[in-house]
């Protein structure tokens, strides 16, 4: 899987490509090493970021404190800190969501 998941002292980092204002909230594959996530919320006042975090928490069954956008809050390219999970575990979660090698 050609995705950027790197170790971090608290867990790991994952590159995200956000697409706000989509028709439905879903994963849209891997794009340039980043997980592409589409959400129906618009990109204003952090609504899209909240929707992305909520979608990932629900999909991956994580606690709220485990996910944090650490850079790119106002950009489409974001860096996500996933606490208490190894890069291998995150890759397994992606595989479980049907995001195999593309």
Q: Read off the pLDDT of residues 17-53 as tens digits, 9 standing for 90 and up.
A: 999 999 999 999 999 999 999 999 999 999 999 999 9
Measured CA to CA, the distance from residue 61 to residue 46 in angstroms comes to 22
Measured CA to CA, the distance from residue 32 to residue 2 in angstroms comes to 8
User: Which one-letter DSSP state was computed for residue 23?
Assistant: S
Residue 1 has pLDDT above 70, yes or no: no
The 3-state secondary structure of 25-62 reads CEEEEEECCEEEEECCCCCCCCHHHHHHHHHHHHHHCC
Query: Model pTM?
Result: 0.92
Residue 6 has pLDDT above 80, yes or no: yes
Task: Tell me the pLDDT band of 2, cut-offs 50, 70 and 90.
Answer: confident
Question: pLDDT value at position 61?
Answer: 95
Q: Per CATH, the architecture of 5-89 is what?
A: 2-Layer Sandwich (3.30)
Residue ranges of domains in the chain: 5-89
Measured CA to CA, the distance from residue 72 to residue 86 in angstroms comes to 22
Question: pLDDT value at position 7?
Answer: 96
Question: pLDDT value at position 99?
Answer: 84
Residue 101 has pLDDT above 90, yes or no: no
């Amino acid at each position: 899987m050609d995705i950027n998941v790197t170790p971090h002292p608290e867990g790991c980092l994952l590159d995200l490509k956000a697409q706000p204002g989509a028709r439905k909230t879903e994963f849209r594959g891997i794009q340039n090493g980043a997980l592409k996530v589409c959400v129906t919320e618009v990109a204003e006042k952090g609504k899209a970021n909240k929707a992305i975090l909520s979608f990932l928490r629900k999909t991956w069954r994580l606690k709220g404190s485990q996910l944090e956008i650490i850079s790119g809050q106002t950009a489409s390219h974001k860096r996500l800190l996933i606490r208490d999970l190894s890069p291998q575990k995150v890759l397994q979660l992606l595989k479980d969501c049907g995001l195999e090698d593309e």
